[in-house]
Structure 1
Amino acid sequence: MTVDDKTKVPELLANLKELESYQVAVGILSKSGGQMLMIANVHEFGCSIPVTNKMRGFLAYNYGVHLKRDTKVIKIPERSFVRSSFDNKSNDVHKKGEDLIGKVVEGTLSARAFYELLGQTCADTIREYMVNEVKSPANSEMTIAAKESSNPLVDKGQLAAAITYEIRGR
Structure 2
Amino acid sequence: MEEKDNIPKSIKEFNKLNHMQLNVGILNSETQFLQMIAIVNNDGTVIHAKNYKYLRIPVRQSDGKIGFVQKESVRIPARRYLEKTIVDGESAWQDFILNQVFEITEGHDVTADSIMNSLGKKVVARMQNIMKSWSKPGNAPITIANKGKDDPLIDTGKLMESIKYEIKEKI
Query: Which TM bucket (shorter chain)?
Result: 0.7 to 0.9
User: Is the contact made by 2:135 and 2:152 (CA closer than 8 Å) also made in structure 1?
Assistant: yes
Task: Tell me which of 11, 14, 18 is aligned to 1:13.
Answer: 11
Alignment TM-score, normalising by the size of structure 2: 0.83
Distance 1:148 1:32, change over 3 A: farther
Q: Distance in 2 between matches of 1:54 and 1:62?
A: 21
Moved more, 99-108 or 49-58: 49-58
Give the fraction of aligned pairs with identical amino acids, expressed as a percent.
Answer: 25
Q: Does 1:115 align with 2:116?
A: yes
User: Is the contact made by 1:82 and 1:126 (CA closer than 8 Å) also made in structure 2?
Assistant: yes
Which structure shows the bigger proportion of residues in helix conformation? 1
Q: Does 1:128 align with 2:142?
A: no
- Within 5 A, what are the aligned runs for 1:43-82? 43-52=41-50, 53=52, 55-59=54-58, 62-67=66-71, 72-82=72-82
Distance 1:6 1:112, change over 3 A: same
User: Is the contact made by 1:32 and 1:162 (CA closer than 8 Å) also made in structure 2?
Assistant: no
Q: Per-residue deviation at 1:11?
A: 1.8
Q: Distance in 2 between matches of 1:105 and 1:31?
A: 38
CA deviations on 1:16-67 (whole Å, 9 max, x unpaired) are: 1222232211122244511010000000100111125375445479444243
Which structure shows the bigger proportion of residues in strand conformation? 2
Q: Does 1:142 align with 2:142?
A: yes
Secondary structure at 1:49's aligned position in 2? strand
Moved more, 109-118 or 7-16: 7-16
Unaligned runs of 5+ in 1: none
Task: Give the superposed CA RMSD.
Answer: 2.3
Secondary structure at 1:65's aligned position in 2? strand
Alignment TM-score, normalising by the size of structure 1: 0.83
Match for residue 100 of structure 2?
100
Aligned residues: 162
